[in-house]
């Protein structure tokens, strides 16, 4: 999960470096990341079905090796065109990461532990945010940004082979859990899945606009140094790890996943409120922004994936996950370039923060409607 989404973190943390290196506008910078997520959104249904067909073990290895290859191309890029090609290649693993890992959990993790394991799995993305924010600025300064990205590409190529250590096949679980048996006997609820996908689109658009420009906002408007701005981003990652693990466990044991999705979206609205107040209230507000972003705009992903794992028959886990990823990655693809275009046109971040607040509020309502549809 770190490797398949790592380009997004690179573009966010090294935003000013990429703008200077390739002479990009903020809109163009957002567009490069959006091409990556758009390819992921377009291909997620196909890779989800492919996962159901060839199995999650082989799918996970393939996705990670493609990610390593794409990041190597980023490190070697000498032009914007080459960077765009690399971003498009990296769209495949971007859309494939969740379907294959969700299917892996459904296949190999017994009921009762899936919430915690899903939270840990989803925290891989936020671990990537933390690693990028903590290490990329210093590595880029010491070695150059190309070597910094290249080191991660090499590491992911090796780590990508780890799933081969798992046995090729496992026996199906024998369980007396009435809920699990009921889910497996139910037909595929396409309406509920697409409502979760709509929620993912709204939160992806809102969170993507914030995360892609948070470091740049911290530098340009709040007056933080590049390293301190990177630390703010890193804290959204490390906080998101804890939030996703906790939310996954909470959603399986105490609070229904769809109800929790609504609560998390409302927390996401407070992030936008604080960003709107930062210029008058002071840069210190970016620290609670990082904490609340970790909860509202990060933890929901683990809960949404768990809703699929717990609510969809195992044979359709990849397909349903792919549908949700269409929404999420589609939101990321739309949010970043529109945010960049708005910032360039208005010379202000405030309209973006207002829009992200509205999107998160609408997502909360969609989650509530999805809960009623699923019951």
Model confidence at 107: pLDDT above 70: yes
Are 86 and 149 in contact by the 8 Å Cβ rule? The answer is no
> Binning pLDDT at 50, 70 and 90, where does residue 317 land?
low
pLDDT at 123: 79
What is this structure's pTM? 0.74
pLDDT tens profile 176-185:
454 554 445 4
Residue 169, in any domain of the structure: no
pLDDT of residue 173: 63
CATH number, domain with residue 319? 1.20.1250.20
Q: What is the domain extent for residue 294?
A: 3-161+177-374
Q: How confident is the model at residue 186 (pLDDT cuts 50, 70, 90)?
A: low
Mean pLDDT value across the chain: 85
C-beta of residue 67 within 8 angstroms of C-beta of residue 59: no
- Local structure of residue 297 (DSSP, 8 states): I
3-state secondary structure 33-67: HHHHHHHHHHHHHHHHHHHHHHCHHHHHHHHHHHH
Domain count within the chain: 1
Is residue 170 situated within a structural domain? Answer: no
Is residue 86 assigned to a domain? yes
Determine the average pLDDT of the residues in 147-175: 85
Q: Does residue 23 register a pLDDT over 50?
A: yes
> What does the pLDDT read at residue 315?
65
What pLDDT does residue 249 have?
83
Which helix H or strand E contains 185, and what residues bound it? helix 178-185
CA distance 213 to 29: 10
- pLDDT in the model for residue 189: 61
Tell me, yes or no, whether 171 lies in a domain.
Answer: no
Query: Can you tell me the distance from the alpha carbon of 99 to that of 76, in angstroms, rounded to the nearest whole number?
Result: 29
């Amino acid at each position: 999960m770190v490797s398949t989404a790592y380009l997004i973190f690179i573009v966010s943390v090294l935003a000013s470096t990429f703008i200077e290196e390739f002479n990009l506008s903020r809109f163009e910078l957002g567009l490069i990341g959006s091409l990556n997520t758009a390819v992921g959104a377009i291909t997620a249904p196909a890779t989800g079905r492919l996962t159901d067909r060839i199995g999650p073990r082989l799918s996970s290895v393939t996705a990670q090796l493609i990610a390593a290859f794409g990041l190597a191309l980023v490190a070697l890029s000498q032009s914007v065109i080459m960077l765009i090609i690399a971003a498009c290649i990296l769209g495949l693993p971007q859309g494939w990461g969740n379907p294959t890992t969700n299917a892996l959990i459904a296949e190999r993790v017994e009921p009762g532990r899936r919430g915690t394991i899903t939270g840990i799995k989803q925290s891989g993305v936020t671990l990537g945010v933390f690693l990028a924010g903590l290490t990329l600025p210093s590595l880029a300064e010491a070695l150059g940004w190309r070597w910094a990205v290249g080191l991660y590409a090499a590491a992911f190529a090796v780590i990508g082979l780890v799933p081969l250590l798992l046995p090729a096949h496992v026996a199906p679980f024998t369980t007396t859990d009435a809920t699990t048996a009921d889910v497996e006997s139910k037909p595929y609820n396409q309406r509920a899945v697409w409502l979760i996908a709509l929620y993912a689109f709204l939160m992806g658009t809102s969170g993507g606009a914030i995360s892609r420009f948070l470091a740049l906002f911290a530098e340009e408007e709040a007056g933080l140094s590049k390293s301190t701005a990177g630390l703010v981003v890193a804290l959204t990652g490390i906080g998101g790890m804890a939030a996703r693990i906790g939310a996954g466990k909470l959603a399986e044991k105490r609070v229904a996943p769809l109800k929790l999705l609504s609560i998390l979206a409302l927390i996401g609205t407070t992030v936008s409120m604080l960003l709107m107040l930062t210029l008058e209230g002071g840069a210190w507000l970016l620290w609670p922004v990082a904490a609340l972003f970790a909860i509202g705009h990060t933890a929901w992903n683990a809960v949404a994936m768990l809703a699929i794992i717990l609510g969809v028959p195992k044979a359709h886990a990849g397909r349903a996950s792919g549908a949700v990823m269409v929404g999420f990655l589609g939101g990321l693809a739309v949010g970043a370039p529109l945010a960049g275009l708005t910032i360039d046109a208005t010379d202000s971040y405030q309209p973006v923060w207002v829009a992200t607040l509205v999107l998160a509020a609408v997502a909360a309502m969609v989650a509530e409607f999805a809960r009623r549809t699923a019951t």
